[in-house]
Copies of this chain bind each other. A is one copy, B any other.
Amino acid sequence: MTTCILSRMESRPDCAPPRRRRDAQASRAAILEAAREVFAERGYARATIREIARRAGVTHGLVMRHFGSKEQLLIEALPGPRAAAGVVPGDLATLPERVAAGFVAGIESAGRGEHAVVALIRSAASDEEVAMPLYAAVEREITETFRAVLGPGSEVYAGLLGSLFIGVTFARHVARTGVLAQLSPEELVGYLTPAIRALLAPAIAEAEHGTKRKQ
C-alpha cells in the first residue's frame, strides 16, 4: 500500500483519493449518523473520531472540518430527549399503562442508540460533563410533562419514575443480563404498568382531587 509522502514537499498527482462525493450536507448527515451509532455503542470517551469517520466513509480530518471538535460533534449528534413519550393529557386512570407502553416502545424500537436515555447512560460514566446536561434535559422533560398532566407537586414522583426508566434501560440495553433483560416488551409493559401506577399514585390522587375541587 503506497502512501502519500510529504505532499507538501513533492507533488504526487498519482496519490488521488479513491472517490470524492463532494456533498457537504450528505457528508454531515453521514457523520452525524455514524456518531450517534458510535457514541451509543462505546460511550463518549471510548468513541473515536477516526472510527466515526470510518463508518461515515470519510476521513477524520473532514469530521474536524465540519464539527470543529469531538464535543461539538456529540452535542449536534445527540437525539432529542423523548423519554416522556406516551405522557399526554387524558384519562388519569389509563395514564400508567400509556406511560409504560410509550416508554417500552421507545427503548425497544429505537435500535442502535437513538434513544436519549440509552445515550445518556452510555456516555455518563465516560464523561460527567456530558452526563449532567443530558440527564438534566431528560429529567426536565419528564418532570415538565408530568407537571402539565398531574400538576405541580408531581416532580419528585416523576423523578422517581425517571430513575426507574433509567435503571430498566440500563438492565436491558447496557447490562443486557438478568431477569429484566429476559422479558419480552409485552411482559415488561405488564410488569411496569402496576409499578408506575403505584409510583404515581400520590400524584394522581392529588391531581384527581384538584380536578374535583375545581368542578
Contact = CB atoms under 8 A, between A and B. Distances in A.
A84 B165 CA distance: 20
A150 B163 CA distance: 24
A37 interface: no
A79 to B, nearest CB: 16
Given A124-B170, A125-B121, A125-B126, A178 B46 contact: no
Q: Chain B CB within 10 Å — which of A158, A160, A177, A183 has the most?
A: A160
Interface in A155-212: 155-160, 162-168, 170-171, 174-180, 183, 191-192, 194-195, 197-199, 201-202
B170 A156 contact: no
A24 interface: no
Interface stretch (A70-78, A87-95, A135-143): A135-143
Contact of A125 (B43, B156, B162, B180): B43
A98 interface: no
Contact of A160 (B132, B160, B164, B202): B164
A145 interface: no
10 tightest Cβ-Cβ pairs between the two chains A and B: A198-B198, A163-B167, A135-B175, A167-B167, A43-B125, A166-B167, A125-B125, A159-B179, A139-B178, A122-B125
Interface of A: 43, 45-46, 121-128, 131-132, 135-136, 139-140, 143, 155-160, 162-168, 170-171, 174-180, 183, 191-192, 194-195, 197-199, 201-202
